[in-house]
Structure formats: C-alpha cells, structure tokens
Amino acid sequence: MPEELIFALWGVGDLRDAGLTRQLVAAGAESVRLNVSDADVAEAMLRLTTFDAPIDAVLALSSSNGCDRAAVLAALGGVAERCEGWRVEVRTPLPPPPVAIGERTPGLANVAFLRRPPELPYDEWLDHWRNRHTEVAIATQATFGYVQNRVLEAVTDTAPDIAAVVEELFPLEALRDPHAFYGSGGDPAELNRRIERMMTSVAAFGADRDIDVVPTSRYVLH
C-alpha cells in the first residue's frame, strides 16, 4: 500500500501559499493535499477535540522516494505554531473525486484522528476497523470519498499515540443536516437505524471515544 506523511497543524498562516507548496515539493513531496478548518465549514454540527486545542489544518504529503523530513518540518514551522506528524499507510475504499489543482473539493471533508483502546489488542482493532467497520461506514453515511490512513510511526518527537487518520467526504448540506450526513432521505426511522448501526460499529473498536473530528475544506495543492 502507498505511504504518506500526515501533519496536524495549529496556529496556521496561509497554507495555500504557492511558496509553501514549492518548499514542500523541493523537500521531495510529489503530491500535497490540504484539509483546513475554515469559514466554509464553521457551522459544522460535528466537531470533536481530544487534543488540548482543536486542530486547524491537516496536511498530507506523498512521495515515492520519501521526503526530507527536516526540510518539511522547517517549512511547516514557518506557517504553523505547532506541528505533529505521522507516517501512514494509505487505503482508499472510496476514492475522492478528482479536482483541479488549487480548487476546493465540493462538500465537507471530515478528518478523524483515532486512538486504539489499550485493552483492545492491535490485531483485533485493525481487523474490526478495516474488515468490518469499512462497509458499515459507507453503507450508513452519505460519503462520496473515504480514505483510511493506518499510522506506522510518529515523525515528530511530541506526536501523541494516534492509531489512524480517516478522511470522509460528505455533501455540504451535511454540515447541519443529519439526514444529509447519513443519507437517510428525510426518513426519521431510517436516520435512527443508520445512527444506531454506525454507533454500534465504532464502539466495537473504540472509535466512540478519545477521537478528534475536524471538519475541513479539502484542497489538492500539487
């Protein structure tokens, strides 16, 4: 499976600045993807924070030959007050739609940071997340893009123990409308059924607690 570097950022400046993208490309990044919590998603009904402060943005870099991590961190240090990063293995059960470079991806992109409960063995956690929950998540929500990033290692010294980073794309109406979020077509009974099935599944591998959910606008910058 392909690998990426994913960074959570706080206290950010202009992450869409072309100069920053050039620095990241010079450091070896072959693709640069940005998820930023901005005014377009400010009214999101779902926003959860386990970190000591809400994440402002998430940046993902991919490279077939690897990035110069020191150069990447130096570049990010110029546009963010805090940066934590992880190397991840990428799996894409539902590919996001292609968009032009620099254009906002339609809809809402939720980025979730998952932590594994210590009482749940890693193999069991991974099996449920990938092999059981994936189908439930897609079946019970109105997602049109779903990316699973399994964390392999931290790449910053102070990064907390994160097990996975998930990105899910929803219609923009899902910011405030539970029916648009779950794809229940306005039927209250169907909405409740989908919520119950989804919550049962996430509870089975500990994703119902100690989780960050960051509503964002999604951009592919390179």
Are 9 and 56 spatial neighbours (Cβ–Cβ below 8 Å)? yes
For residue 24, what are the contacts with CB-CB under 8 A and spacing of at least 6?
Answer: 32, 61, 67, 72, 75, 222
Indicate the number of domains in the chain. 1
Q: Distance between CA 37 and CA 214 in Å, rounded?
A: 7
What average pLDDT values come out for the chain (222 residues) when binned by 10 residues? 95 97 98 98 97 97 94 97 98 97 98 97 97 97 98 97 98 98 98 98 96 98 98
What is the per-residue pLDDT for 157? 95
| pLDDT tens per residue across span 78-87 | 999 999 999 9
CATH code of the domain covering residue 105: 3.30.70
What is the per-residue pLDDT for 60? 98
Q: Which residue range is the domain that position 56 belongs to?
A: 3-220
Are 12 and 77 spatial neighbours (Cβ–Cβ below 8 Å)? no
